[in-house]
Structure 1
Amino acid sequence: MATARTANPAPMAGLNKPANGQLRGQTKTGGQQPELLSNVQHPSAHKRTSIPQSSGGIKFGDDWKKCLELPPKDTRVKTSDVTSTKGNEFEDYCLKRELLMGIFEMGWEKPSPVQEESIPIALSGRDILARAKNGTGKSGAYLIPLLERIDLKKDHIQAIVMVPTRELALQMSQISIQLSKHLGGVKIMATTGGTNLRDDIMRLDETVHVVIATPGRILDLIKKGVAKVDKNQMVVMDEADKLLSQDFVVLIENIISFMPKNRQILLYSATFPISVQKFMSKHMQKPYEINLMEELTLKGITQYYAYVTERQKVHCLNTLFSRLQINQSIIFCNSTQRVELLAKKITQLGYSCFYIHAKMMQEYRNRVFHDFRNGLCRNLVCTDLFTRGIDIQAVNVVINFDFPKNAETYLHRIGRSGRFGHLGLAINLITSDDRYNLKNIEDQLVTDIKPIPSSIDKSLYVAEFHSVDAEDGGEEKA
């Protein structure tokens, strides 16, 4: 599959291979949009460290921190969602030095509130039920204690992380591999539906310590006797509200039945419906409850609506593109057909654009996700496939081209911007059919979605930089 590799490709006579989700037009450079991703350090951009894979290269008494190759400091202003901490340090948790090296080389300097609450409890072996906002460091809250507790002397599966989407599984496996790169032999495997089952079977014939999976695929491997989980000590469910919904709950119950009774269960989510309470009472032992949700929406996201007719939506979107200072944007539609149609329209308007939805081949989904995450395109059009846990720090604008039907979907959509306490903008295109939904969502989330002004203050969503001081909440979090 041919894939363009420049952020601003040359003009095209027509659309190029639309099936792969990567539509590209002539990127307009005359507006106010900045150089793409100019102020954001992507995980994939980190330099390879020269430190050996184990601590053997660092002698006792060495200042090991001087040997680390850290990413550039992110000095963007952060909100209290991530800065209202107790002042703890990662070194306070008695973590292995090799794990601390991975943490610092990810650019994570200090734990966020959910990490301060979770890490010591998870290390003690106790079950956890944690509720925290999207983009406040939930992934690090469970991956750090999970990796700390891996025993390299044991060659069986010791931890399983379950997530609802393939993209999130790949993202979590990449973060886990980066965090554990100095631990000297932690074997991490991602397995999802839509990929070659034989490859997974062959991989599990070797040592695997951590499996990051979607429920259907890991259950299939368990039932085939390939993934042996009878000695598994930790189960994590990220986006637990989705995993325990009707789509997945039967699979989850089945998976749990193959595991030992004394396993540890960690649940993380932004919302906890009644299905989570039922699971907790049935499978968890006096879980430690964390609730950091005094309010539902992130403090750094400013929300607006524009009242339009259906026929005015594309024109309105074009106006937003020309007037906003977009680093990267995610644009949501309510159906796969509308995703492809809108992506084609955006390309015809002259803007570089990718699209992604659940009906695409997995190979193309992986490529689009990888390339957008690495900054090869400014705009992504998608369905709600992309609302769960996807962490792309460069996204500062989310546009609901089609307004969602419920508050939960709206919350997860707008949470794709303003990640880890940074600033973001959420703009909703509202038709007459959406006005009641708008009011209901405002009431349920106790939030204020304002009419869009003629000019939007850039300080509301464009990164402002300042000197790093002792009160900063650290660097980027997963």
Structure 2
Amino acid sequence: MATARTANPTSVMGLNKPANGQLKGQPKPANLQSIPSAAAQQPAGPQKGSSIPQSSGGIKFGDDWKKCLQLPPKDTRMKTSDVTSTKGNEFEDYCLKRELLMGIFEMGWEKPSPVQEESIPIALSGRDILARAKNGTGKSGAYLIPLLERIDLKKDHIQAIVMVPTRELALQMSQISIQLSKHLGGVKVMATTGGTNLRDDIMRLDETVHVIIATPGRILDLVKKGVAKVDKTQMMVMDEADKLLSQDFVILIEEIISFLPKDRQILLYSATFPVSVQKFMAKHLKKPYEINLMEELTLKGITQYYAYVTERQKVHCLNTLFSRLQINQSIIFCNSTQRVELLAKKITQLGYSCFYIHAKMMQEYRNRVFHDFRNGLCRNLVCTGRFGHLGLAINLITSEDRFNLKGIEEQLVTDIKPIPSSIDKSLYVAEFHSVDPDDDGGDGEAKQKELGAA
């Protein structure tokens, strides 16, 4: 079974060879309208001629620093209560460095989301945290903001580690960290994952690194080789902790922690907390502050449907969805690398631009395809295999998949309905809602409209 989702464009790079995963079709039919995303227009950093300094030295006492910011276009799309049900706090309320606030606002993050309100002040105090919140509600900002605030540039050792389960998430978090810290005057962030050149990482660690964002296997390898010295590391974050504490990773995580100082701070963030997380918490966390913002597992604003089809009908069904829905971008998940390439080819033949990635491609090409897609250079991505906005997920299932669907409904405590003959555009197209242009809710970690296809 596969699902398709949309992604938020944010980065650059080009790759045009079909062998590298990018297939370009004919221009999109006129009835497939493109709806601009505010996040898609966010500049990667200060533009040429910007009055914003690249370090804290350019802002003088008494300057109106907010007037110097290069802010992205205001996001006026409708936001759900996942990100708007806040206490009304501002980022300035947390006594953060002015230079960090500059990075936050230039990311388009206007006000703290609920998980950020709960997490930031506690993390700044040095206390361990166990936070349960949905993906796409600002968890990355909840830990990256206090992490960067606490970096001491006078110290040249590794001060924080962010553990993530996948290469793609490591690259995404490192990019966010770099953008948030660009005015801090020298915070050094490094991403390291399996599948990349170990020698490059060793050479990089010969220089100053303050923050490492890594997958467990690679960072453990560097630690055991004595290259990554973490005996003075004061903070370790585990994003998607439920995956990191699964049987695949938990032994590695335990060994990594054995190299950390005893007075380290550990922050766990996840949408679900199985028994493995509870055991880990009891063993390694000291009186953790618990945050639970989970009334249900699925994001509000994401409407799910299913459609019964035969295997032969899936491509025809996708074509019908493309022609009837106003899709900005879609991600389509398949169960095998062979199916990925075949489906991407068929989608291209239907006249739609399409990229694809899978595990058998070189990591360098996968990264470039992924970033090109996020930059909006293509509308559809096929691969093996969210922030408080509207979305749509459609699961195409065969008769053999019906029991899996029931299991998913039970685990998510949700009801996935059959796809109706017509879908209300207000469920996934922001322009069909009346929006208050002065509403600042949410942190701007925007994800566009979603289309799911399984």
Q: 1:48 to 1:360 in 2, by over 3 A?
A: farther
2:6 match: secondary structure:
coil
Hey, what's the Cα distance between the residues in 1 that align with 2:2 and 2:310? 38
Whether the 8 Å CA contact 1:78–1:421 is kept in 2: the answer is yes
Q: Where in structure 1 are there 5+ consecutive unaligned residues?
A: 35-43, 383-416
Q: CA deviation at 1:122?
A: 0.2
Give, in whole Å, the separation in 1 of the partners of 2:363 and 2:189: 21
How far the C-alpha of 1:16 sits from its partner, in A, is: 7.6
Query: Alpha-carbon deviation of 1:336?
Result: 1.9
SS at match of 1:419: coil
Q: 2:123–2:146: 8 Å Cα contact kept in structure 1? A: yes
Q: 1:43-78: per-residue Cα shift (whole Å, max 9, x none)?
A: x79778431122222221221111111010000010
Q: CA deviation at 1:275?
A: 1.1
Deviation of residue 5 (structure 1)? Answer: 22
Q: Secondary structure at the match of 1:101?
A: helix
Give 3-state SS (helix, strand or coil) of 1:31's partner.
Answer: helix
User: Per-residue CA shift, 1:331-379, capped at 9, x if unaligned?
Assistant: 1112222112211211122211111122221011111111001001000
Q: Secondary structure of 1:143's match?
A: helix
* 1:128–1:288 contact (8 Å) kept in structure 2: yes
Contact 1:54–1:182, Cα closer than 8 Å, also in 2: yes
Task: Indicate the SS of the match to 1:464.
Answer: helix
Pairwise CA distance, 1:6: 19
Higher mean C-alpha displacement, 354-363 vs 172-181: 354-363
- Per-residue deviation at 1:7? 15
Work out whether residues 15 and 23 of structure 1, in 8 Å CA contact, stay in contact via their aligned partners in 2. no
Cα distance in structure 2, aligned partners of 1:20 and 1:255: 35
Distance 1:57 1:150, change over 3 A: same
Structure 2 Cα separation of the partners of residues 221 and 450 of structure 1 = 48
Q: How far is the alpha carbon of 1:196 from its aligned partner?
A: 1.3
Measure the CA separation in 2 of the matches of 1:448 and 1:8. 26
Q: Distance in 1 between matches of 2:231 and 2:42?
A: 53
Maintained 8 Å contact 1:77/1:465: no
Does structure 1 conserve the Cα–Cα contact (< 8 Å) formed by 2:9 and 2:376?
A: no
Flag the 1:321–1:87 CA change in 2: closer, same or farther, 3 A.
same
The alpha carbon displacement at 1:282 in A equals: 1.1
Deviation at 1:30, TM superposition (A): 26
Range that drifts further, 192-201 or 52-61: 52-61
Please list the CA deviations of residues 114-149 of structure 1 after superposition, one character each: whole Å capped at 9, or x if unmatched.
Answer: 000000000000001111011000000000000000
Mapped to 2, the partners of 1:472 and 1:14 lie a distance apart of 34
Are 1:343 and 2:310 matched, yes or no? Answer: no
Q: Deviations over 1:276-297 (max 9, x none)?
A: 1111111111111111101111
Gaps of 5+ in 2: 29-37, 443-453
Q: Tell me the residue number matched to 1:68.
A: 69
Q: Distance in 2 between matches of 1:418 and 1:312?
A: 21
Identity within the alignment, %: 92
1:17 deviates by 4.3
SS across alignment from 1:365: helix
The 1:49–1:173 alpha-carbon spacing in structure 2 relative to 1, beyond 3 Å, is farther
Contact 2:10/2:374, CA 8 A, preserved across alignment: no
Distance in structure 1 (CA, Å) of the matches to 2:357 and 2:162: 24
The answer as to whether partners of 1:300 and 1:421 remain within 8 angstroms in 2 is yes
| Structure 1 Cα separation of the partners of residues 11 and 125 of structure 2 | 58
- CA distances 1:188-233 after superposition (whole Å, capped 9, x unpaired): 1111111111111111111110011111111111111110000000
**CA, structure 1 residues 302+212, in 2 after alignment: closer, same or farther (shift >3 Å)?**
same
- By relative contact order (CA 8 Å, sep 6+), the higher-ranking structure is 2
Query: What TM-score results when the alignment is normalised by the length of structure 2?
Result: 0.87
Question: Once the two structures are superposed, what CA deviation does each residue of 1:227-277 show, in whole Å capped at 9, x if it has no partner?
Answer: 000000000011111111111111111111111111000011111111111
Deviation of 1:3 (Å): 26
Say if 1:144 and 1:267 are closer, same or farther in 2 by CA, change over 3 A. same
Q: Following the alignment from structure 1 to structure 2, what is the Cα–Cα distance between the partners of residues 441 and 2?
A: 13
Query: Contact between 1:298 and 1:418, CA under 8 Å: does it hold in 2?
Result: no
Given that 1:136 and 1:420 are in contact with CA atoms closer than 8 Å, whether structure 2 keeps it comes out as yes
Q: Are residues 96 and 13 of structure 1, via their aligned partners in 2, closer, same or farther at CA, if it must alter by over 3 Å?
A: closer
Contact 2:158 2:209 in 1 (8 A): yes
CA RMSD, 1 decimal: 5.5
Is 1:472 the equivalent of 2:440?
A: yes
The CA distance in 1 between the partners of 2:262 and 2:9, in whole Å, is 56
Q: Shift of the alpha carbon at 1:166?
A: 0.8
**Does the 8 Å CA contact 2:193/2:214 hold for their aligned counterparts?**
yes
Q: Secondary structure at the match of 1:434?
A: helix
Residue in structure 2 matched with residue 436 of structure 1 by the alignment: 403
Equivalent residues of 2:4, 2:394 under 8 A apart: no
Classify 1:344/1:12 alpha carbon distance in 2 versus 1 (closer, same or farther; 3 Å).
farther
Contact 2:2/2:335 (<8 A) preserved: no
Query: Residues 428, 48 of structure 1: CA spacing in aligned structure 2 closer, same or farther, 3 A cutoff?
Result: farther
Q: Distance in 2 between matches of 1:446 and 1:54?
A: 48
Instruction: Pick closer, same or farther for the CA change 1:323–1:468 going to 2, 3 Å.
Output: closer
Please give the alpha-carbon distance, in whole angstroms, between the structure 2 residues aligned to 1:291 and 1:2: 29
Query: What is the count of residue pairs matched by the alignment?
Result: 432
TM-score, normalising length: structure 1: 0.83
Per the alignment, do residues 315 and 13 of structure 1 end up closer, same or farther by CA in structure 2, a change over 3 Å counting? Answer: farther
